């Protein structure tokens, strides 16, 4: 059977959303700085490693996202992987609040000036855009990883999102 022989209709957005809500994922805040230095960012649970050489990851963002538009203008972004105590940060950046960067501590990256949320992240990757692919109402952004930081000395447990709620990875003593 070939792809053109599959005649079933698409599952539809609500059915697809119900499927994806059952897949727990790490929570990240994707950030960038626009050409004028304005910080942008949003909560994202679609982050995936793609290749080891060159080190590349992907993020999927809504095609109308102001953060995506700023990323495309500068070709740079950071992926802030949140730890379990950063639920408030995840919710803040998911809200789209205009003052979100006024309500969190952040510093500029040495690679492209993308904001680092050091107090909320257990790891941060600075990336350069190497490609994009539009699919439906989202854009897959591929980023070559230029640097990685672990802001804290202690091992932090990642924040997870699945089944429409936040959780964390259970840690064995």
pLDDT digits over 42-82, tens only? 999 999 999 999 999 999 999 999 999 999 999 999 999 99
Residue 53's contacts (CB-CB under 8 Å, 6 or more residues apart) are none
User: Would you say domain 26-160 falls under CATH 2.30.110.10?
Assistant: yes
pLDDT in tens, 104-149: 999 999 877 899 999 999 999 999 999 999 999 999 999 999 999 9
* Average pLDDT of span 20-37: 94
pLDDT value of position 110: 84
């Amino acid at each position: 059977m070939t792809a053109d022989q599959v005649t079933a209709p698409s599952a539809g957005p609500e059915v697809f959303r119900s499927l994806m809500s059952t897949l727990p994922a790490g929570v990240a805040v994707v950030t960038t700085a626009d050409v004028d230095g304005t910080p942008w960012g949003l909560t994202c649970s679609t982050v995936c490693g793609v290749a080891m050489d060159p080190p590349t990851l992907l993020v999927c963002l809504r095609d109308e996202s102001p953060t995506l538009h700023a990323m495309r203008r500068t070709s740079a972004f950071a992926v802030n992987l949140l730890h379990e105590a950063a639920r408030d940060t995840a919710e803040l950046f998911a809200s789209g609040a205009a003052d979100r960067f006024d309500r969190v501590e952040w510093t500029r990256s040495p690679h492209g000036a993308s904001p680092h949320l050091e107090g909320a992240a257990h790891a941060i990757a600075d990336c350069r855009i190497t490609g994009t692919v539009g699919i439906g109402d989202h854009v897959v952004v591929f980023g070559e990883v230029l640097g990685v930081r672990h802001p804290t000395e202690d091992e932090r447990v990642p924040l997870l999102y699945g089944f429409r709620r936040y959780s964390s990875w259970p840690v064995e003593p």
